[in-house]
Amino acid sequence: MSLVEEEAARGVEGAGADNLPASLESLALAAVRAAALAAEGWAGLGDGKSADKAATEAMRAVLGETRGCGTVIIGEGEKDNAPMLFNGEKLGNGEGPQFDIAVDPVECTDLCAAGLPGSLTTIAMAGDGCLWSPGPGHYMDKLVVGPAARDAIDLREEPEHNVERVAEKLGKAVDDMRVLILDKPRHVELAASLRERGVHVIQPSAGDVAGAIFALLPGTGVDMLMGVGGTPEGIMAACAVKVLGGGMQTRLAPQSDEEAAAVADAGLSTDEILEADDLLRGPALFAACGITGGTLLDAPRRRAGWVSTQSLIVRPGSVRKIVESTPIAEQE
């Protein structure tokens, strides 16, 4: 038995036709919820790999029991040498809808290990053959903005020019702009350059899926996501971008000689600009569930024999936050 409460996410409406089986929404929510509850048991214990493993096993169990067949197009673990749902893995009984999966059982593993806010479990699902596969490309440069500025970005231009164009579209002064960039050594010069122009730079240590969601939704205090992040996160962000009608541009950005050589050997370009429609060629949905809490989603809560989780589901025509409560005994 469970109790479910739903909350519209600030009245945002999705865009585009929704041709996905209705069962995939409940499947995605069940998968991220199971993974979040499994990972939460490791939060604050300093062992991110065990949190990843627990979340992966919980998610695999839920997906493995579904009617249909999901193919993992991209799993997060390979990039971080962590437990993973592996690329090409087939999940389900094979009898029913065929669909693609992109997954990160624990986004912000280090935050989960430290017991700090911001870690989530995430999944994206799309029609069969709809998700772009980055092969050995683990990192990509990204620009993400909301619908009002979707035509203002160009990854071939300097970052400062993009900020100016987006500010103009949003009717804001440049020194009122708030740009989210991951706090990584590769972004030191970028962050400094923007701050010199008065831009407010928000720098979490991890979490560019959440950062993309913040850039897409109104009232979050984030106008743009910018910088280099993981390709798994990029694929999942593309699902939310396409559903919400935002703007996104990416290109592969290898972060090591080994990765660059593998990308070249795979015949992939580091110059080609890819937009959301290139990363996702059809209908999709995105779901996330909070592990350690934070601005986007609350952590699981236990009270009077019940455990409650907060999830986000993004699909065409619908963006909702969902609180689900179940007896703790059912989780044991």
Parse the chain into domains and list their residue ranges: 3-130+283-331, 139-279
Cβ distance 136 to 257 under 8 Å? no
Query: What's the pLDDT score for residue 332?
Result: 58
Report residue 167 CA to chain centroid gap: 24
> What is the full DSSP assignment across 88-130?
T-EES-SSS-EEEEEEEEEESHHHHHHT-TT-EEEEEEEETT-
> 227-237: b or e for each residue (b if 16 or more CB lie within 10 Å)?
bbbbbbbbbbb
Query: What's the pLDDT score for residue 23?
Result: 86
**Per DSSP, which regions of 9-163 are E strands?**
69-75, 90-91, 98-107, 120-127, 139-145
**Residue 316: CB partners within 8 Å, gap ≥ 6?**
14, 15, 16, 17, 18, 243, 283, 285
Count other C-beta atoms under 10 Å from residue 300's C-beta.
Answer: 22
178 burial (CB, 10 Å; 0-12 / 13-18 / 19+) is middle
Cβ distance 174 to 152 under 8 Å? no
Query: What's the pLDDT score for residue 2?
Result: 63
Query: What's the pLDDT score for residue 14?
Result: 41
Rg of the chain over Cα atoms, rounded to whole angstroms, equals: 19
Nearest to 109 by CA among 173, 14, 42: 42
Nearest to 169 by CA among 152, 189, 185: 152
The one-letter amino acid code at 312 reads: L
Q: Which class in CATH covers the domain with range 139-279?
A: alpha beta
Q: Which two tokens stand for residue 202?
A: 């928000």
Q: What is the CATH number of domain 3-130+283-331?
A: 3.30.540.10
The one-letter amino acid code at 297 reads: L
Cβ distance 246 to 144 under 8 Å? yes
Residue 52 Rama label (left phi>0; alpha psi -120 to 50; beta): alpha
* Dist CA 280 CA 52 (whole Å): 26
Per-residue pLDDT of the chain (332 residues; tens, 9 = 90+): 566 666 655 444 444 445 677 889 999 999 999 999 999 999 999 999 999 999 999 999 999 998 899 999 887 545 545 456 777 888 998 888 899 999 989 999 999 999 999 999 999 999 999 999 888 899 999 999 999 999 999 999 999 999 999 999 999 999 999 999 999 999 999 999 999 999 999 999 988 899 999 999 888 999 999 999 999 889 989 988 988 899 999 999 999 999 999 999 999 999 999 999 999 998 899 999 999 999 899 999 999 899 999 999 998 878 899 999 999 876 65
